[in-house]
Structure 1
Amino acid sequence: MTETSVPAPGQSISEQIAAYAAEFDASHIPREAQARARELMLDATGIALASHGYPFSERAMAAIASLNAGGQSAVIGSATRLDIRNAALMNGILIHGLDYDDTHARGVIHATSSIFPTVMSLAADLNRSVQDMVSAYVLGVEVATRLGSVVKGGFHQVGFHPTGLIGAFGCTVAAGWLLGLNEQQLVDAQGLVLSMGAGSMEFLEDGAWNKRMHPGWAAVSGITAATLGKHGYKGTRLAYEGRFGLYRSHLGEHAACDLALATQGLSKEWEVTQISVKPMPACHFTHAAVDAAIRIHRQGVRPQDIERIEVLIPQEVIKTVCEPQDSKRKPANSYEAQFSIPYLVGTALVHGRLTLDDIDPPALFDPAVLALAQRIDYRADPDSAFPKYYDGEVIVQLRDGTTIREREPVNRGASDRPLSRDDICIKFRDNAHRQVSPERAEVIESLFIGSDAGMSARALAESLGQTETVSA
């Protein structure tokens, strides 16, 4: 493995993280980081509510309920109660299922979709406060985003989804803190979850539902590993940098990693404030190109005017959103559409928007969009700043010979171009109103944005599990 820097001699990465987590003082979390954490959890809750209207959530709930062994853990937007791990699995599926959840750009990871279900289920079961739940969430995010940043987008290149793979480690540390693990137990827990974290990108080939369960499975793994660690079950010490540790086993001997990033800035820099909230329900890698296409539409360009389109996209994301080209130009289902530059850019050029309705039937069979998608090509963007930004450019050649170019150097919602609290609340309401009444949505919003006044995590979870639905 090639490293630009390594951990302190004699101390493994998991030992450094364990020492940090064991002494983690929630009172030291800056107010800005705490506020951002609550906004991110609110955003996730709205997406979870919206997901109830889709077949994947119904089928997941039926399967998980059939495996359930009893328990009183809440599922967002459902009267069903499950055991701790099954509730975390289901909530992870609901939050990530529409691919509308937040992203940490440098780590290329959807941290909230695994860590929030973990801390919600566990903090409620332990009857901890909402503040403890928020603190555990922040701790998990700080760990997971750094571990993802080490590889600089490398996991995607070899077919691993870091949200499931790396998310399991963040969930383990967050769960371990709530469970009161000491340093050695936290080291053991990280070593144990090395054998549990997973997430294959093969779903890209056929639009399968695998990816939707990755964050929830990371939550299950984290709760399991932390509990084993608490009871003295021994885990490997070199979970990350070992000969068969995380990075070598998943990336091979010649992967370029900066191992120092795994712990850099802990307690000094707060990565939770760097997480991007998605303004559109599609793979974050596509957003810049979609926004560029929307601007071209607003200039009065219409499909009949267009000869061809070229999209410039970061080299590192081409395998995810541009290939194989034939299936990307005609996605067979909603999930394929969410990872398709031709379909999404085509939709933006035709309709000047991208909403949840634009990735579902009958929109998937819109002849104008599909015809335009056939004229969309791509190439690697030589000026990309990936992974700091998920940038993109759209170049449209008109039939009269005119060329129109629009570039989005910093994707909307990025840490340097964040959505405001008002933007996040509007997005939450739009999503929540698909499942619950405006009055119920207002109550939920107040749980995260208002003062919780010492509210317990159990009371919050129970409130999220209420089922007042939109009137027919």
Structure 2
Amino acid sequence: MNSRHSIQLQAQTISQRLAAFTTHLKLDEVPQDVRERAKHLMLDSIGLSYATLKLPYATSTLAAMQELGTGEATVFGHRERLALRDAMLLNGLLIHSLDFDDTHARGVIHSTASALPCAFNLAEREDASGADLLLAYLCAMEVSTRIGAAAKSGFHHAGFHPTGLAAVFGCSLAAARLLDLNEEAARHAQGIALSMASGNLEFLQDGAWTKRLHPGWAAVAGTTAATLAKHGYIGPGAPYEGRFGLYALYLKTSPDAPDLALATHGLGETWEIDDVSLKPIPACHFTHASSDAAVALYREHRVSADEIERVVVRVPEATIPIVCEPVANKQKPANSYDAQFSIPYIVATGLLRGRFTLDDLDPAALTDKEVRALAARVTHEADPDTTFPRHYTGEVIVYTRDGQRLAHREAINRGSADRPLSNDDIVAKFYDNAQRGVSREEAERICEAVLSLDRQPARALANVLRASQ
């Protein structure tokens, strides 16, 4: 990091430091491999949006946004245009709805699902360059992931969805960047955003659709906060460390104190995108290692359902309330969202089918009698050797009726920063998902446009995404 940035980051509050960093950052200061990874993360998310186009929650949200009004902003994969913030909301939902999008492990946050809609739609409106879009996206990613990481998993413990809470701050600074705000205004944008940070985990109780709104809503709120700041609106000066700031207010029931230093440590020197994990299966990241362990046992032993007496799954203790409890709900998922957060269902599917894909979220798969019967025999316990939250560990132990004990452990979840998917893997995943909504030829045009983003206007990408339906 250059000396100018070093001086600027001596500011006292977190919001001042983040404002200084994002306001003055230049794209050529970002390592080339980080820029390339960023474009591939965007590609992954855009592919997911095409796999979601015709699903009920997507069509319902489009109808609701159209009722609120029209505009000129592009929605991924649609010819219809919406008002700026309504398009952000829907684009975030399209990316996040399948729960197949990227996750920052320490922040436990789906960062691209908010950062991309905010940067994309605002860059389109401002007629910004693709390079400016990419830089704004990078600013959002750095800030949102760091704000999430500083909570040390405490947001989840308190019943909040970190994506909704932390991402609003990253989006406020991405918007500030595209609106050309100065440091003071960017600081105010974060203070204003504090009043807009929201998102809870109540959807886990009954598979409600609300979680799907959280990333897009963060983009909406961050953009609103930055626009207010642009016009002189004053926000609190210490939105993070204040008496009623983010961490004091939202972590009252957390067993661990937040580490506020993580919010700004190494800004401009270490890049949080390097710690963003890509999902190899369409389910909560907390289930991935267990899923892979189950698939490994299927490939090695091919044990039938009738041969299995019971299954024990070891997972990080902090994830148990999310993917293992309440037990009755997890063993009999009522819908696709329940299934994506169900260790019993995902492990049973892996043991019997040797996979977990989008097809396993179809209604027919959810009611498969053999899978359901085995899921009822799946229990859980805390993993004593976990390295969570750095890794989302998982171990599956199968006890057979003839007395065998079969076990497989995944100490590092596939797709994590320490076991990453390659850029080529991401491209392959993009095509698998995008072709659920468009032809191979159209998917190729989208891929080319995203990966050449920094060499064209933002509206050029918008034209490709809007025309591809």
Same fold per TM (> 0.5)? yes
SS in 2 for 1:465: helix
Q: SS of the residue aligned with 1:22? A: helix
Q: Is 1:170 aligned to residue 170 of structure 2? A: yes
In the TM superposition, residue 49 of structure 1 has moved relative to its aligned partner by 0.4
Which letter maps to 1:250?
Y
Moved over 3 A (4+): 451-454
* Counterpart code for 1:318: I
> Which of 411, 414, 422 is matched with 1:412 structurally?
414
Partner residue in 2 for 1:5: none
Q: Which residue type is aligned with residue 390 of structure 2?
A: K
Answering whether residue 341 of structure 2 is matched by residue 324 of structure 1, we say no
State the secondary structure of the residue aligned to 1:79. coil
Partner of 1:279: 280
CA shift for structure 1 position 452: 4.5
Are the equivalent residues in 1 in contact too, given 2:57–2:209 (CA < 8 A)? yes
* 2:461 aligned counterpart, secondary structure: helix
CA distances 1:20-61 after superposition (whole Å, capped 9, x unpaired): 112112210100110000000000000000001311100010
Distance 1:397 1:96, change over 3 A: same
2:365 counterpart of 1:363: yes
Per the TM alignment, residue 307 of structure 1 is displaced from its structure 2 partner at its CA by 0.7
Distance 1:135 1:58 in 2: 31
Map of 2:314 onto structure 1: 312
When residues 199 and 396 of structure 1 are mapped into structure 2, their CA distance, relative to the original with a 3 A threshold, is same
Aligned 8 A contact 2:15 2:239 in 1:
yes
| Alignment partners' CA distance in 2, 1:197 and 1:452 | 30
Q: Which of 339, 342, 345 lines up with 1:343 in the alignment?
A: 345
Q: Which amino acid in structure 1 is aligned with residue 27 of structure 2?
A: A
Q: For residue 457 of structure 1, report the CA deviation from its aligned partner.
A: 0.5
Mapping for residues 215-364 of structure 1, pairs under 5 Å: 215-252=215-252, 255-299=256-300, 300-364=302-366
* Displacement after TM superposition at 1:467 (Å): 3.6
Q: Distance in 1 between matches of 2:172 and 2:263?
A: 15
CA deviation after TM superposition for structure 1 residue 195, in Å: 0.4
Residue type of the partner of 1:320?
A: I
TM-score normalised according to structure 2 size = 0.96
Aligned pairs (5 A) from 1:45-64: 45-64=46-65
* Letter aligned with residue 428 of structure 1: F
Corresponding residue for 1:121? 121
Q: State the 1:117 CA deviation.
A: 0.3
Show the counterpart of 2:146: 146
Residues 1:452 and 1:317: Cα distance change in structure 2 (over 3 Å):
closer
Normalised TM-score (structure 1):
0.96
Name the residue aligned to 1:439: 441
Deviation at 1:212, TM superposition (A): 0.3
Letter in 2 for 1:51: T
Q: Distance in 2 between matches of 1:65 and 1:95?
A: 19
State how far apart, in whole Å, the 2-side matches of 1:403 and 1:74 are. Answer: 54
> What is the Cα-based RMSD across aligned positions, in Å?
1.2
How many Å apart are 1:253 and its aligned residue?
7.5
Aligned match of 2:38: 37
1:421 aligns with: 423
1:171-190 equivalent positions in 2, closer than 5 A: 171-190=171-190
Q: Which runs of 5+ in 2 are unaligned?
A: 1-8
How far did residue 214 of structure 1 move?
Answer: 0.3
Size of the alignment, in residue pairs?
Answer: 459
**Which digits, 9 at most, give the CA deviation of each residue in 1:401-427, with x for residues without a partner?**
110110000000001111112211111
Distance 1:75 1:162 in 2: 25
Give the CA deviation at 1:453.
6.9
Whole-Å Cα distance in 2 between the matches of residues 253 and 100 of structure 1? Answer: 29
| Residue pairs, 1:31-110, within 5 angstroms | 31-68=32-69, 70-110=70-110
Of residues 387, 391, 394, the one that matches 1:392 is: 394
Contact 1:32 1:273 in 2 (8 A): no
The alignment status of 1:193 with 2:193, answered yes or no, reads yes
CA contact (8 A) 2:134 2:454 kept: no
Q: For the residues of structure 2 that align with 1:106 and 1:393, how far apart are their CA atoms?
A: 21
1:444: Cα distance to partner? 0.5
Aligned partners of 2:239, 2:376: CA distance in 1, in Å? 46
Q: What amino acid sits opposite 1:85 in the alignment?
A: R
Deviation at 1:91, TM superposition (A): 0.1
Q: Distance in 2 between matches of 1:99 and 1:21?
A: 28
Amino acid corresponding to residue 185 of structure 1 in structure 2: A
Pick from 381, 384, 391 the counterpart of residue 383 of structure 2.
Answer: 381
Q: Contact (CA 8 Å) 1:56, 1:209: kept in 2 or not?
A: yes
Partners of 1:454 and 1:387 in 2: CA distance: 37
Distance 1:452 1:316 in 2: 39
Q: C-alpha separation between the residues in 2 aligned to 1:378 and 1:350?
A: 18
Q: Is 2:157–2:253's contact at 8 Å kept on the other side of the alignment?
A: no
| Helix, strand or coil at the partner of 1:378 | strand
